[in-house]
Amino acid sequence: MGTKAQVERKLLCLFILAILLCSLALGSVTVHSSEPEVRIPENNPVKLSCAYSGFSSPRVEWKFDQGDTTRLVCYNNKITVPPSKPTVNIPSSATIGNRAVLTCSEQDGSPPSEYTWFKDGIVMPTNPKSTRAFSNSSYVLNPTTGELVFDPLSASDTGEYSCEARNGYGTPMTSNAVRMEAVERNVGVIVAAVLVTLILLGILVFGIWFAYSRGHFDRTKKGTSSKKVIYSQPSARSEGEFKQTSSFLV
């Protein structure tokens, strides 16, 4: 722990008696540190010592005291850090009937945080069928990983989602709320198909109108009616003469 120049922190070594009466029966108890104040350059290792006597089975905690704020930093030989504000990954829209995955995580908590999900400000139970408010939903919620999976997504799953991270140390932290819309299947494809169909119909109507306005259909009819076909029967001739069986004139 430190600032940009030098680290100067006061650590309070707090001990809680497991069996108070037994400890007092042993005589006087003492708790002291050989170095009440520690000065160390930033990013350097530091060793803090605390001695005690007269306790039967003490619970040892190290706390960080800064102004009016006291935070637990070490318990049971493990560093503890309260959770930071979690970040969420929530799709703005998802298709009804498909699988939708929502995630929540934070990196600072020690021990690792567990996560609780909220929909429209209401706590989501691990089993959706256990409460009436979520009985129409099908999801799996993992408090350890912070993952919330809808499979399949239903129309009732539309709403604002947020999550809370807590690890038993410090204040639980809540993410920003994000709204997810459950939309009908293939709505976008249907809309696109309708638009394309309307455009093609418009082009076809325009083409027919343009052809009529230029007189293409009238000229075609006139050209067809002006053609004549004349057919003549062959005339009787002698055997030595050339025989023409039929003739056509267009």
For all residues of the chain together, what is the average pLDDT? 78
Adjacent-strand bridge partners of 44: none
| pLDDT at 199 (0 to 100) | 92
Please compute, for residue 186, the number of CA atoms within 13 A of its CA located in the half-sphere on the CB side: 4
For the question of whether the overall pTM of this predicted structure is more than 0.85, the answer is no
71 and 10 in contact (C-beta within 8 Å)? no
248 and 230 in contact (C-beta within 8 Å)? yes
| pLDDT at residue 20 is higher than 50 | no
| pLDDT at 236 (0 to 100) | 54
Nearest to 107 by CA among 85, 136, 80: 85
| pLDDT at residue 152 is higher than 90 | yes
List the 139-142 sheet strands across, edge first: 87-89, 100-105, 147-150, 139-142
pLDDT in tens, 87-112: 999 999 999 999 999 999 999 888 89
- CA dist 139 and 102 (Å) reads 11
Which amino acid type is present at position 182? A
Domain range summary for the chain, segments of one domain joined by +: 85-181
pLDDT in tens, 214-229: 777 665 555 555 555 5
Token pair 């040892």 is found at: 60
CATH tag for 85-181 (out of 3.20.20.140, 2.40.280.10, 1.10.357.10, 2.60.40.10): 2.60.40.10
97 and 43 in contact (C-beta within 8 Å)? no
pLDDT in tens, 26-60: 457 788 787 878 888 888 888 888 888 887 777 77
